[in-house]
A and B are shown apart, each in its own frame.
Chain A
Amino acid sequence: MSDQPMNKGPHDVGGESAAAVDTIDHGMSFWEKQANGLRSVLSGQRIVRIDELRRAAEDLGNQYSMLAYFERTTSALRTVLLEKGLITESELRAKMDEIRKRFNVPDEMESPLKNASQK
């Protein structure tokens, strides 16, 4: 954020110089399609609003540019679901532990999000 004007969020990139566009469509992985389906069902039923999700993504600050698109949207959905009380931190932690065990994922996997939540 340091080199950004005060009122310009990390998402507001229109007009900045940048490299050539990679014109290949790299598609979406299965989990991304599933995450997109989840987000779409929730917004379609007005359980969460697109504007809420966008605000939560824009609030990611420095993390914004470090995360891939669906990592940002997943992180934003987490924020909004927690805010609305539709899920709790402890429920999410317990369910994520359960899923890690299901897939034999070691708990030492680190992520920017995990680090951020420990701040």
Chain B
Amino acid sequence: MAKNRTKIEFQKLSELPPMVQSLRSMAANPTGSWRNLKPVLHKENCIQCTICWKFCPDAAIDWVDDYPVINLDFCKGCGICAEECPKKCIEMVKEGK
């Protein structure tokens, strides 16, 4: 789901830049398994306000074809999107159900 999810691998010390620069270490390190509650979008009630997209603290919501798409590779299930949604169209569902 994540775009450009290639990890930059350095083989040698000499290939490293002097400082940590665009290592993309988190992009290649999915953390979605930390989640207990999974956000489920009920698209029919969505008014495309982008509030969930703005509030997601982990940038785990992409904006695709005018609608939010939750990236479950990185969503940790904090529920902020569900809390902030003015139409309450994001439901937090227990994982494993």
A and B bound? no
Which A residues are closer than 8 A to B by beta carbons? Answer: none
Which B residues are closer than 8 A to A by beta carbons? Answer: none
